Structure 1
Amino acid sequence: MQATAYTYDPETRSGQVLLDDGTPMPFDGPAFEAGGLRLLRPGQRVRIELEGPPESARITLVTLQTF
Structure 2
Amino acid sequence: MQATAYTYDDATRSGSVLLDDGTPLPFDAAAFDAGGLRLLRPGQRVRIEFAGEAGGGDGAEAGAEGAGDGRRIVLITLQTL
TM range (shorter): over 0.9
Tell me which residue corresponds to 1:30: 30
Q: Secondary structure at the match of 2:32?
A: helix
Matches of residues 36-55 of structure 1 in structure 2 within 5 Å?
36-51=36-51, 55=69
Tell me which residue corresponds to 2:80: 66
Tell me which residue corresponds to 2:11: 11
RMSD over aligned CA atoms reads 1.0
Task: Give the alignment's TM-score, normalised by structure 1.
Answer: 0.94
The answer for unaligned runs of 5 or more in structure 1 is none
Measure, in 1, the Cα distance between the counterparts of 2:70 and 2:76.
17
Task: Give the alignment's TM-score, normalised by structure 2.
Answer: 0.78
Measure, in 1, the Cα distance between the counterparts of 2:51 and 2:2.
15
Runs of 4+ residues deviating >2 angstroms:
none
**Structure with bigger gyration radius:** 2
Measure, in 2, the Cα distance between the counterparts of 1:65 and 1:20.
14
Instruction: Tell me whether 1:56 sits opposite 2:64 in the alignment.
Output: no
Shift of 1:23: 0.3
Aligned length: 66
